[in-house]
Amino acid sequence: MRKLHFLIFAMMLLVMIGTGCSNDEGKNKTQKDGEQVELTVSAAVSLQEALTDIKAAFEKDHPNVKVNYNFGASGALQQQISQGAPVDLFFSAAEDKFEKLVDEDLIDEKNGIDLVGNKLVLVVPKDSDKGLKSIGDLTKADKIAVGTPESVPAGQYAKQTLENSNLWKEIEDKVVYGKDVRQVLTYVETGNVDAGLVYKTDALSSSKVKLVATAKDDLHDPIIYPVGLINDQKHAKEAKQFYDYLQTPTAMKTFEKYGFEDLN
């Protein structure tokens, strides 16, 4: 009889323990579903203002997700990712930098999209008296800032524009290189150079420069900004949420506010 009572007691104890474990698992699952997730987005520095606004709106709608940006020249960012930097999304200012990651199987082509476009423009300091009113006038300048063509897409587009305008050889000795397009803009803002070639979006962000000319589209490769998901990221669900959010009408209005063109 005592053995029977003991067996019944043991079975009841096992049921209680099992129920408790089940509740704990459910509790842990709920906590996991609502845990704070941090995403890392490597993006071209020319996207800084637009993406800062988009981050605020996205995080308001997704309170469990924090978006951390790594802004820089697209070429440098691409190299970081190629070397194993932990990144969830890449937002490039040039297709060739993006395609390198596709070729290296770090981005699946189906998880990428050409999202926005831009223009290349000539800017001069606000108080400039050099009489620079067109790209052809750059022969009058003493110093001209462009991004380093090998790593800065804006610099690559600038060199193409100058070569196709038959100006590059004439002004090459006057060129001052910037590590990214924002450094080029700073050189112009501070008067360290007479002019610079930057994106239209950068020119619109500064009250210290004048936009004096826009490069013709046929003088350089199309300025396209692709964005895509890095393969094998830790937070695939949340990364996809942000990737999708970048394509919403709300996000596109923000991009257009800062001078980008909707490509879709």
Instruction: Give the CATH number for residue 215.
Output: 3.40.190.10
Residues 88 and 137 grouped into a single domain: no
Residues 86 and 132 grouped into a single domain: no
User: What is the per-residue pLDDT for 34?
Assistant: 63
In a domain, 58, yes or no: yes
Residues 127 and 113 grouped into a single domain: no
Residues 204 and 193 grouped into a single domain: yes
User: What is the per-residue pLDDT for 16?
Assistant: 47
121-155 burial: b if 16+ Cβ within 10 Å, else e:
bbbbbeebeeebeebebbeebebbbbbbbebbbbb
pTM for this one?
0.83
Residues 137 and 73 grouped into a single domain: no
Task: Confirm whether residue 245 is marked as ligand binding.
Answer: no
Residues 126 and 203 grouped into a single domain: yes
Task: Confirm whether residue 92 is marked as ligand binding.
Answer: no
119: Cβ–Cβ under 8 A, 6 or more apart, which residues? 199, 200, 214, 215, 223, 259, 261
In a domain, 42, yes or no: yes
In a domain, 1, yes or no: no
Domain count, the chain: 2
User: What is the per-residue pLDDT for 201?
Assistant: 97
Residues 107 and 135 grouped into a single domain: no
User: What is the per-residue pLDDT for 237?
Assistant: 95
Q: Domain of 204?
A: 120-219
In a domain, 26, yes or no: no
User: What is the per-residue pLDDT for 125?
Assistant: 98
Residues 124 and 101 grouped into a single domain: no
In a domain, 3, yes or no: no
User: What is the per-residue pLDDT for 167?
Assistant: 98
User: What is the per-residue pLDDT for 24?
Assistant: 42
In a domain, 78, yes or no: yes
User: What is the per-residue pLDDT for 244?
Assistant: 98
Residues 103 and 170 grouped into a single domain: no
Note the pLDDT tens digit of each residue in 130-174: 999 999 999 999 999 999 999 999 999 999 999 999 999 999 999
Residues 207 and 129 grouped into a single domain: yes
Residues 239 and 192 grouped into a single domain: no
In a domain, 67, yes or no: yes
- Weakly modelled stretches of the chain, pLDDT under 70: 1-34
Residues 140 and 196 grouped into a single domain: yes
User: What is the per-residue pLDDT for 63?
Assistant: 96
Task: Confirm whether residue 46 is marked as ligand binding.
Answer: yes
User: What is the per-residue pLDDT for 234?
Assistant: 86
